[in-house]
Amino acid sequence: MKLKNSFFYTLREDVKDEDSISGKLLVRSGMIKKTSSGIYMYLPLGLKVLSNIENIIREEMNNSGALELLMPNLLPEEIYISSGRRDNFGKDMFSLKDRYDRHYVLGPTHEELFVEAAKMKIKSYKDMPFNIYQFGLKYRDEPRPRYGLIRVREFCMKDAYSFDVDDDACDKSYQIMKDTYKRIFDRFNLDYKIVLASSGAMGGSLSEEFQAVTEIGEDTLVICDNCGYASNLEVSPCVPIKEIKESLKSKELIHTPNVGTIEDLANYLKTDKSKFVKTLIYKIDDKFYACLLPGNRDLNEFKVKKLLGAKEMTLADSEDVERITKAIVGFAGPVNLEIPIIIDEDIVKMKNFVVGANKTDYHYINVNISDFKYDYIGDIKNTLPNDPCFKCHHPLSFKKGIEVGNIFKLGTKYSESLDLKYLDQNNELKHVVMGCYGIGPGRIMAAIVEQFHDDKGIVWPINVAPFKVGIVLIDNKDEKQVEIANKLYTELQANNIEVLLDDRDLRAGVKFNDMDLIGLPIRIVVGKKCNEGLVEFKMRLEDENLNIKITDVVKTIKNIKNI
């Protein structure tokens, strides 16, 4: 691509409505442009990057034996009703009607449709295994899109689905995909972690996430540097504490005026936060529950939902709390509370703790487990950094990550709800066992920028860069320079090396800055020294600017790794 007379622009300043580094850089470099909240155009350069990412994924998927196809995105709502997921998605699904008032949705994920396709093929155990996939757009009406391409409402996803006769066979298909994903993310040079995750709206038994490590990550990764155990905070199990040995005291009401938070209370009573038990009132599937956990711990809503088999869970508002506890927010406690109580497993081991008294400005001290009743018990708290690893008891460390890929063992969830069966060797009808595997190319693009940039702009890894080489023509009135720049451009193209030529009528500084901003890996400068048969060669991240012979340019570039 020659920049003169091409659709190419950059912005000198950051736009105000992007909050992440990747969002800012991608918009400023003219790769993407926001249309509305969480919806972006991919402009020519951005599309090239996205296509490069897709092609790497496609190559590895095809090598694994998967077959590509393409599904529609405008789907009759009915297919999600029959799978039972219409309600799961709720408002996350974009929904619309056609001219006859028939209900349609924009597909947020495509398990249902792939099952439809699989039904055409699968009759017998001989028809499996196979894996089919697509690159398609997904639509999810996120409550709060943010971070540029990271949380968006319309996005490209590679989604693959495996179909097997039983769990063992599915395990094999799953492992093939996991290995394929590792190869894919290795090729992007991403710093990533594979973590255990909750299966969320997909359902199924096992799920692992591929998380790109970045500061703006929306997920917290719990990592053991000793045994390699890694999981999403959502599902990270806590190791139960040891029984605290203390002689039991009897509970006592104390006056704690205007001390409603654990923080304040710890200061007021000059005690450690771990001596408190906090009581949180939640509305879970339209019923109120009290959740009790140690004062220094945060509630893990995923664990609570799993414990109760619940779908929705929100913190009760202050009116409800006051009605239930008969006290203003901050003084809730388990003693004589009339709603079901869920306690964290550690609480039974605590002695003489402090709880709210359900009376404004009062707490109980020296409360013990025998002082109140509870209905559910389990691990309902978040892991904390330096907690012992669930497997090897080494202190855990935390990182932030962006989920760029996710693999699931779905079991027979969809084959049951959508009636996908096959005949086995004994002529018996059985449900197909499925796996599904997603990768978000747009998120990968953003994650790469988050991980590979400097104060001048993006630093694309060679295999995803929109062009491998950028030629800067210093003076486009100098015939010699023009000739050489064009000759190099043609030569590189003839050698299948993607090249961009900046032949615009602009000052050199502007061209250098744009080149750095868009992040091409190799820069060739055609300037004064071309009279001596020399041009400059510079890698984006290196300071060294080498003079090389014009005749050596192609050879030098071809020797670079990954070209």
Partner RNA sequence: CGGGAAAUAGCACAACUUGGUAGUGCACUUGGUUUGGGACCAAGGGGUUGCAGGUUCAAAUCCUGUUUUCCCGACCA
Q: How far is the CB of 368 from RNA (least distance, A)?
A: 30
188, 176, 236, 180: which is closest to 213 by C-alpha? 188
* Segment interacting with RNA, rule: CB under 7 A, options 70-78, 340-348, 491-499, 520-528: 520-528
Beta-strand ranges (E) seen in 327-445 are 341-344, 353-356, 362-367, 376-378, 397-411, 421-423, 429-431, 433-439
The tokens for 30 are 């003219």
- 138 is an interface residue for RNA by CB under 7 A: yes
Residue in 25, 53, 57, 157 binding RNA, rule: CB under 7 A: 157
Q: Is 86 in the site for RNA (CB under 7 A)?
A: no
In the window 262-321, what residues touch RNA (CB under 7 A)? Answer: 301, 312-315
Tell me how far, at minimum, the Cβ of 313 lies from RNA, in Å. 6
- The SS3 of residue 531 is helix
Interface residue with RNA, options 206, 307, 508, 539 (CB under 7 A): 508
Amino acid in position 270: K
Number of residues that bind RNA (CB under 7 A): 64
Instruction: Examine residue 519 and tell whether it contacts RNA (CB under 7 A).
Output: no
Question: C-beta of 323: minimal distance to RNA in Å?
Answer: 18
CB closer to RNA, 432 vs 517: 517
Sole binder of RNA in the list 171, 456, 461, 486 (CB under 7 A)? 456
User: Is residue 13 a contact point for RNA (CB under 7 A)?
Assistant: yes
CA distances from 55 to 47, 58, 63, 113, 463 (A): 12, 5, 12, 24, 10
Stretch that binds RNA, among 5-13, 256-264, 271-279, 423-431 (CB under 7 A): 5-13
Buried b (16+ CB within 10 A) or exposed e, 518-544: bbbbbbbbbbeebeeebbbbbbbeeee
| Cα–Cα separations (whole angstroms), residue 34 to 9, 21, 24, 136, 448 | 15, 15, 11, 19, 19
**106 CB-near residues (< 8 Å, 6+ apart):** 73, 74, 75, 93, 94, 95, 96, 139
The single residue among 155, 422, 452, 460 that binds RNA, judged by CB under 7 A, is 155
Would you count residue 441 as binding RNA (CB under 7 A)? no
CB proximity list for 459: less than 8 A, separation 6 or greater = 452, 453, 519, 521, 540, 541
Three-class DSSP category at 63: helix
Is 73 among the residues that bind RNA (CB under 7 A)?
no
Short-list 447, 433, 400, CA closest to 184 = 447
Query: Could you say which of 99, 245, 270, 477 contacts RNA (CB under 7 A)?
Result: 477
Among 529, 539, 552, 554, which residue sits at the site for RNA (rule: CB under 7 A)?
529
Nearest residue (CB) to RNA, 251 versus 523: 523
- Least separation in angstroms between residue 91's CB and RNA is 8
Beta bridge partners of 539: 522
- Cβ atoms of 550 and 525 within 8 Å: the answer is no
Q: Note whether 144 binds RNA by CB under 7 A.
A: yes
The only residue of 452, 527, 537, 550 in contact with RNA, by rule CB under 7 A: 527
Chosen residue from 31, 184, 202, 238 binding RNA by CB under 7 A: 202
- Among 248, 545, 546, 555, contact with RNA (rule: CB under 7 A): 545
Closer of 143 and 257 to RNA (Cβ): 143
Query: Which has the closest alpha carbon to 148: 446, 399, 441, 556?
Result: 446
* 16 forms part of the interface with RNA (CB under 7 A): yes
One residue of 4, 7, 15, 252 binding RNA per CB under 7 A: 15
- Based on the shown chain and the rule CB under 7 A, indicate whether residue 5 belongs to the binding site for RNA: no
Of the pair 255, 480, the CB lying nearest RNA is at 480
Q: For residue 5, what are the CA distances in angstroms to 2, 206, 501?
A: 7, 52, 11
- Whose Cβ is closer to RNA: residue 51's or residue 199's? 199
> 3-state secondary structure string, 197-222?
CCCHHHCCCEEEEEEEECCCCCEEEE
Six-digit token string for 559: 């020797």
Does 85 interact with RNA (rule: CB under 7 A)? no
Residue 472 C-beta: closest distance to RNA, Å: 8
The number of CA neighbours under 13 Å toward the Cβ of 345 is 14
DSSP 351: -
Q: List the beta bridge partners of residue 211.
A: 193, 403
474 binds RNA (CB under 7 A): yes
CB of 506 to RNA, least distance (A): 7
Q: How many CA atoms lie less than 13 Å away from 124 in the CB half-sphere?
A: 4
Q: Which residues make up the interface to RNA (CB under 7 A)?
A: 10-17, 19, 34, 36-38, 92, 109, 138, 140, 142-147, 151-152, 155, 157, 199-202, 209, 218, 301, 312-315, 403, 406, 438, 440, 443, 456, 474-475, 477, 507-510, 512-517, 525, 527-529, 536, 538, 545
